[in-house]
Amino acid sequence: MSETSTRPASSPPEHAHEEIRLVAPSRQSPAVRAFNTVVRSREMSILLVLVLLVAAATAKNPSFLFSGNGWRDLLLTPSILLLLAAGQAVVIITRNVDLSVGSVLAVTAYLTGRLFIDFPGIPIVVVALAGLAVGGVLGLVNGLLVSLGRVPALVITLGTMYIYRGLVLTWAGSDRINASDLPRGFLRLGTQSVLGIPVLFVVAVVVVAAVGYYLHAHRGGRELYAIGSDPDAAVLYGLPVRRRVLAAFVLSGALAGLAGVVHAARYGTVSSGAGTGIELEAVAAVVIGGVAIFGGSGTVWGAAIGAMLLVTIDRALPILGIPDFWQRAVVGVLIISAIVLDRVLSARRTRKLIEAREQS
Amino acid sequence: MTTTTQRPTDPARTYAEHAAPLWQRLVLTRETAIIALLVAVVLYAMVNVRNFDGPLTLTYLLLDITPILLIALPMTMVIVTGEIDLSVASVVGLSTVLVGILHAGGLSIPVAAVLALLAGAACGALNGFLVAYVGLPSLAVTIGTLALYRGLAVGLLGTKAITEFPDRWTDLATAKIGDTGIPLVMVLVAILAIAFGLLLHFTSFGRGVFDIGLNSEAARFTGVDVARTKLILFTLSGVVSALAGIYYVLRFGSARGDNATGLELQVIAAVLLGGVSIFGGRGRLHGVVAGVLLIGVVGSALRLEGITVNVINIIIGLLLVASVMSPSVLAWISDRTARRNPRASRPTDAPLGVGQKEGRNS
Amino acid sequence: MATAHADAVLELRDVSKSFGQVAALRSGSIRVTPRSIHALVGENGAGKSTLVKIVAGVHRRDGGEMLLEGESVDFHSTAESKARGIAVIYQEPTLFPDLSVTENIFMGRQPLTTGRRIDRSAMYDEAQALFDRLGVHIDPRRPAEGLSIADQQIIEIAKAISLDAKVLIMDEPTAALSGVEVERLFTVARSLRDEGRGLVFISHRFDEVFALCDQITVMRDGQYIDTLTTADTDVDQIVSLMVGREVGDLFPKTAAELGEPVLQVRDLTMTGVFHDISFEVRAGEIVGLAGLVGAGRSEIARAIFGVDRYESGVVTMDGIAIPGHDPRSAIRSGMAFIPEDRRKQGLVTQASVAHNVSAAVRSRLSRWGFLTSGAESRAAGPWAGRLEVKTGALDMDAATMSGGNQQKVVIAKWLATDPRLLIIDEPTRGIDVGTKAEVHRLLSQLAGEGMAILMISSELPEVLGMADRVLVVCEGRLTADIPRAEATPENVMRAATRTTEGVR
């Protein structure tokens, strides 16, 4: 497809063709290439770790996977973190970070309870949309401050993390939403399954798939990668940097808002401390999943698998005979291994690319 | 003329040492603004808040902010180099657990404390090694070690708490200097603050720290050992965090795995509020001390007013956002006004981020 | 040229632009006609790049007129200028390293299928077609990371072609290219011209300007000077227009008595960067290191000074071996290194003049371990004075200074260390003519005082004028060692491109 194609009349003479340095095009068929890409991907390696973990835990105690509860918990527990990780991945790909997601989650989780209490009979869909909308607005505030203030997102979202948490504390006080305040139908959502798959997990997976697809296949999604890869080049290129970064924050906020609704459905109780510290877990999931902390590479699928792994470790460790107190230490080791691995892989890739250039 | 002498003879020009008079250089700084704000809040609280001038207020205020104040010192230097350390609170937690376990195991408090300090140094050195020598981004590394060190703390002690500590030592943690109401621990804080202030602002090492933050490549070309400097700073951060942990366990008489959770963000908020640039290269230690005190005073005054911790959170957050946004907002306003009357002939700004791309050519 | 009287596709009249107090462009004018290649020449700092950035929409002009196909335009962003058919290839290509070369070409304009989904296979095919047309073999799927500068420029050109740009501006595209690569670029440029586009070509190499371009516009000190038709002019006329006076008094190298070898380099090797580099520099000698950009000159210097690693070989100063990858020992042994990129490597622009000048000696300034800004200022003042640095006070930031003044600050910093060997990479890049002469005079004087100097320069006249001996680097190897008396532009250039041309 490269050598044989006809060249337009204005192409340079044949001899120039021979002299230039070759970086040969690959000659694999598309199917083989796609297969190789998937198998060799960073996501695959983390998925393998996840599968091994589940297999080990199941071997030790078959009910980890093969009981109704075990299967359900395996999928249901990560749902919240999946949503947060998807949003966080998008933000991190643009070379930013959103530390306020835990607080946003608390705001909309409490909002969910309030809506059901204050407007009895309100449809669940409306509540979910409200969660998305409120989360989106809080994300918009982050995005505006970051893109207009030209201040690192780390600082801005650290600030709004306090502010949003303060808002929900003020609003809720010591009040707490209990399961009895929530309609039965809503609580059932938290445990209901379709074809053996928990509904909330389905919601999370649909969101992850949609976001991942957008990032992979749409212009806007690709521009997010470009911005994270080199923000200065993105400006010179004429990409709408501010608008895209703003959108990434709105998305992250909206998904955190949705995660708040899911939180309420899953646990039935909401206190103003909901989601404390989960922002760092979301960042950890994204990093474990292979998204570079300085943007430009990685996928939402990877982040999602990272989130599954984080949550599953929590449940698998006791079964494997390790007290679950050690879960965080294991997570820490995992994060550090992931970034060291990424470092090694990228160093190898760079070396290969340079060697390819030298040999030509 | 010869270059073999240390100083060139007969320079063609001489220069003023400073462009602005002394008072301007002292007054027109961010640090002064923070200090002024601190003084204003203190004065306001003295007049308007009941019991703010009471003896216990100062004592508890200082006792409460001591861990933040301590950790803010090395954190300032770390942030000035353009890095960040999110693992400090986990080191505090680990240090409390170690002191608790070692003491319960029969060691005296000083021996346990020394071992905890060594563990803190090791934690910091691991961060520093990964950042400086492996070349990993500190944000990611210290999120990892935040989980790791906290995990070690929780793993070692589970959900138990160790609360048996000799009164002699716990009393020392809350002892006051005479009847001043100032806690004795402030002597330690003051010594460390002065030491870090001298290190950062009055040594060759400190100049190197700023150079790394402003332009680490140029620093390397000038003979600053960038990697070693970062390793030292992260190690200091670990040691001082462990020290804060020792204080913590004695002050509250309780060693728990989840001690001081979330403290890292409070420390960073205080440091940034004190005028340190998150981009690195800018900041002064007295501003940071004022920033920590400001957060402490606001919190204490509001609590006395019966306002809950929530509002304090909001205020800390707003202060932080406002303090980092203010330069951009001011620049934007002056740009706007300049555009309104074009005769003022301020240059139009380049679009976001483009400025750095120039350099090699005209 | 026949097309000289056609309607201009792009025209600038008296465009001006200031940054703060500095007027980067006083009155820039150029008239680019379709179906022509227009050279824009001028010394560094003449305002060419600023003019390009105004056309590109990076900067907005303060005054003057800009017409695109006869219509007045004012671009607020690079996106606008691109949408109007202007493509700019910067000196340093600006690609997204993590993304594939195809995505780099089509970012924001990817071909879509139904459902606004990116049609990847169509996109790769189009990229392949572009590469075929340009006569290059680059895998459309490979990431941009790790591409040579020449290949990166090809990507930029492919981008411009796919945009169907009416105007293509190339800012010093050949600076880092070998002879073959330059030929390839020119072939492409001519074919683009023949398709009816207007091209602007910025270069310092007159042979290229005369080989490629139809008209030449000369700029000096931010001002338009003249536009000439290539056929009616010659190099001497262009140079005198650029410089504004006769050249020849620029390089006042005085013969100096050579002493003992100061620096000796034996078999220095770093795979993929440079191989078996051996040479020495004697006291009082200026050794010029010539070669194309990217040939490995700067990398050799950096390895000698210790900021980069080398795998094997020995570097000795005054006969004593110094450890590799340790700039501190290099400094201690009497080396000083003035790097090529002074804003990124030479100085800390956001710090004060005093801070910068005293940076390399501050450990000596400490008393009982403590260093005060007063001590720094006292140490820095005389050196700044000797070099006649223009600044209001020693605590002013270096950021606001002109390139020439910044270079003086860097030189002052290293002279303060009292070095035995001065390595200086591109001593006069981006500084004005007056300061240039000052720097040359200073280097000559330092050599006269017995300092050993290793000078890297891309400006051939500078190398030939200043150096006692010229070493030529080509693709990481020393290919020639030519004494001053025998050095000519021809034999230096031949050595600089030897392997490239010879093997193939």
| Residue C486 pLDDT exceeds 70 | yes
| Residue C133 pLDDT exceeds 90 | no
B357 vs C contacts (CB less than 8 Å): 94
pTM for this structure?
0.81
B86 vs A contacts (CB less than 8 Å): 280
Residue of A153, A267, B204 whose CA lies nearest to C363: B204
Q: What is the pLDDT of residues C436-446, one digit of tens each?
A: 788 888 899 89
Q: Do A332 and B145 touch (CB under 8 A)?
A: yes
A135 inside domain:
yes
The CATH code for residues B29-325 is 1.10.3470
- Could you tell me the strand order of the sheet in which C477-483 lies? C335-338, C421-425, C452-456, C286-291, C469-474, C477-483
* Record: fold of C2-95+147-243: Rossmann fold (3.40.50)
Mutation target vs A (from C35, C81, C107; most A CBs, 10 A cutoff): C107
Distances (CA, A) of C352 to B15, B89, C338, C348, C381: 13, 36, 18, 8, 12
C194 to chain A: nearest residue by CA? Answer: A10
CA B47 to chain centre: 30
Distance CA C474, CA C496 (A): 5
B202 vs C contacts (CB less than 8 Å): 370-372
**What rounded mean pLDDT belongs to chain B?**
83
Q: Is residue B344 very low, low, confident or very high in pLDDT (cuts 50, 70, 90)?
A: very low
SS3 of chain A: the string is CCCCCCCCCCCCCHHHHHHCCEECCCCCCHHHHHHHHHHCCHHHHHHHHHHHHHHHHHHHCCHHHHCHHHHHHHHHCCHHHHHHHHHHHHHHHCCCCCCCHHHHHHHHHHHHHHHHHHCCCCCHHHHHHHHHHHHHHHHHHHHHHHHHHCCCHHHHHHHHHHHHHHHHHHHHCCCCECHHHCCHHHHHHHHCEECCEEHHHHHHHHHHHHHHHHHHHCHHHHHHHHHHHCHHHHHHHCCCHHHHHHHHHHHHHHHHHHHHHHHHHHHCCECCCCCCCHHHHHHHHHHHCCCCCCCCCCCHHHHHHHHHHHHHHHHHHHHCCCCHHHHHHHHHHHHHHHHHHHHHHHHHHHHHHHHHHHHC
SS3 of residue C107 by DSSP = coil
A7 vs C contacts (CB less than 8 Å): 132-133, 135
Tell whether C97 is within 8 A of chain A (Cβ).
yes
Length of chain C: 504
| Residue B352 pLDDT exceeds 50 | no
Domain with CATH 3.40.50.300 in chain C: 2-95+147-243, 261-503
- The pLDDT of B172-186, averaged and rounded, is 84
Contact criterion met (CB below 8 Å) for A220 and A245: no
CA C67 to chain centre: 30
Distance CA A76, CA A198 (A): 6
Residue of C476, C419, C428 whose CA lies nearest to C449: C419
Q: Is residue C2 very low, low, confident or very high in pLDDT (cuts 50, 70, 90)?
A: very low
**What rounded mean pLDDT belongs to chain C?**
84
Other CB atoms within a 10 A radius of the CB of residue C236 amount to: 11
* Å between A173 CA and nearest CA of chain C: 47
CB-closest option in C346, C369, C384 to B218: C346
Between residues B118 and A2, the one the model is more confident about: B118
Mutation target vs A (from B313, B316, B319, B336; most A CBs, 10 A cutoff): B313
SS3 of residue C372 by DSSP = coil
B85 vs A contacts (CB less than 8 Å): none
* Å between B139 CA and nearest CA of chain C: 20
Q: Is residue C393 very low, low, confident or very high in pLDDT (cuts 50, 70, 90)?
A: confident
C54 to chain B: nearest residue by CA? Answer: B350
A352 inside domain:
yes
Cα torsion for B250, B253, B255, B260, to the nearest 10°?
Answer: -70
Distance CA A112, CA B87 (A): 33
Contact criterion met (CB below 8 Å) for B93 and A329: no
* Å between A292 CA and nearest CA of chain B: 9
B82 to chain A: nearest residue by CA? Answer: A152
What is the structure's pLDDT at B340?
55
Q: Do C415 and B214 touch (CB under 8 A)?
A: no
What is the structure's pLDDT at B11?
55
Residue-by-residue DSSP string for C268-288 = EEETTTEEEEEEEEETT-EEE
| ipTM surpasses 0.85 | no
What is the structure's pLDDT at B8?
52
Q: Are strands A197-198 and C312-317 parallel, antiparallel or unpaired?
A: unpaired
Tell whether B359 is within 8 A of chain C (Cβ).
yes
C59 vs A contacts (CB less than 8 Å): none
A297 vs C contacts (CB less than 8 Å): 98
Tell whether B24 is within 8 A of chain C (Cβ).
no
Tracing tokens 């309420």 back to the chain, one arrives at A264
Contact criterion met (CB below 8 Å) for B296 and B183: no
Residue C56 is given by DSSP the state: H
CB-closest option in A239, A353, A358 to C107: A239
Contact criterion met (CB below 8 Å) for A307 and A80: no
Tell whether C184 is within 8 A of chain A (Cβ).
yes
Q: Is residue C163 very low, low, confident or very high in pLDDT (cuts 50, 70, 90)?
A: confident
Q: Do C96 and A25 touch (CB under 8 A)?
A: no
Between residues C45 and C435, the one the model is more confident about: C435
Q: Is residue B5 very low, low, confident or very high in pLDDT (cuts 50, 70, 90)?
A: very low
Residue C84 is given by DSSP the state: T
Q: Do C354 and B17 touch (CB under 8 A)?
A: yes
Q: Do B139 and A327 touch (CB under 8 A)?
A: no
A33 inside domain:
no
B258 to chain A: nearest residue by CA? Answer: A325
Tell whether C148 is within 8 A of chain A (Cβ).
yes
C161 CB-near residues (< 8 Å, 6+ apart): C130, C133, C134, C192
Other CB atoms within a 10 A radius of the CB of residue A350 amount to: 14
Distance CA C224, CA A106 (A): 63
Other CB atoms within a 10 A radius of the CB of residue B279 amount to: 14
Minimum mean pLDDT among B280-284, C157-161, C480-484: which range? Answer: C157-161
A50 inside domain:
no
- The pLDDT of B258-262, averaged and rounded, is 82
CB-closest option in B198, B203, B214 to C351: B214
Tell whether A122 is within 8 A of chain B (Cβ).
no
Q: What is the share, in percent, of chain C residues with pLDDT greater than 70?
A: 91
C188 vs A contacts (CB less than 8 Å): 12
Distance CA C283, CA C481 (A): 18
Q: Do C137 and A25 touch (CB under 8 A)?
A: yes
Q: Is residue C432 very low, low, confident or very high in pLDDT (cuts 50, 70, 90)?
A: low
- The pLDDT of C163-184, averaged and rounded, is 80
- The pLDDT of B271-297, averaged and rounded, is 90
C53 to chain A: nearest residue by CA? Answer: A236
What is the structure's pLDDT at A250?
96
Q: Which residues does chain A have with pLDDT short of 70?
A: 1-30, 39, 356-360
Tell whether A31 is within 8 A of chain C (Cβ).
no
Tell whether C294 is within 8 A of chain A (Cβ).
no
Tokens for A41, please give them.
């991907």
What is the structure's pLDDT at B323?
75
Distances (CA, A) of C315 to C312, C333, C460, C479: 10, 11, 27, 20
SS3 of residue C471 by DSSP = strand
Tell whether A27 is within 8 A of chain C (Cβ).
no
A223 inside domain:
yes
Domain that holds residue A253: 64-359
B299 CB-near residues (< 8 Å, 6+ apart): B64, B309, B312, B316
Q: What is the share, in percent, of chain C residues with pLDDT greater than 90?
A: 20
Q: Do B316 and A162 touch (CB under 8 A)?
A: yes
Tell whether A210 is within 8 A of chain C (Cβ).
no
Tracing tokens 């017409």 back to the chain, one arrives at C67
* Å between B225 CA and nearest CA of chain C: 8
Find the angle CA(A71)-CA(A126)-CA(A308) to the nearest 5 degrees. Answer: 25
Q: Where are the domains of chain B?
A: 29-325
Alpha helix segments (H runs only) across C387-432 = 403-415
What is the structure's pLDDT at A257?
95
Q: Do B314 and A166 touch (CB under 8 A)?
A: yes
Residue of C43, C162, C56, C51 whose CA lies nearest to C101: C162
Between residues C366 and C299, the one the model is more confident about: C299
A360 CB-near residues (< 8 Å, 6+ apart): A21, A22, A23, A24
Q: Do C370 and B198 touch (CB under 8 A)?
A: yes
* Å between B264 CA and nearest CA of chain C: 29
B345 vs C contacts (CB less than 8 Å): 18, 62
Tell whether A242 is within 8 A of chain B (Cβ).
yes
Tokens for C68, please give them.
């695109």
A241 inside domain:
yes
Contact criterion met (CB below 8 Å) for B277 and B283: yes
Candidates 3.30.1300.10, 3.40.920.10, 3.40.50.150, 3.40.50.300; CATH matching C261-503: 3.40.50.300
Number of domains forming the structure of chain A: 1
CATH code of the domain in which A331 resides: 1.10.3470
B7 vs C contacts (CB less than 8 Å): 379, 382-383
What is the C-alpha radius of gyration for chain B, rounded to an integer number of angstroms?
23
- The torsion angles phi and psi of B309, rounded to 5 degrees, stand at -60, -25
254-273 of A, contacting B, C-beta below 8 A: 272
What is the structure's pLDDT at C253?
66
Distance CA C136, CA C184 (A): 9
Length of chain B: 362
B45 CB-near residues (< 8 Å, 6+ apart): B52, B297, B300, B301, B304
Length of chain A: 360
B152 to chain A: nearest residue by CA? Answer: A329
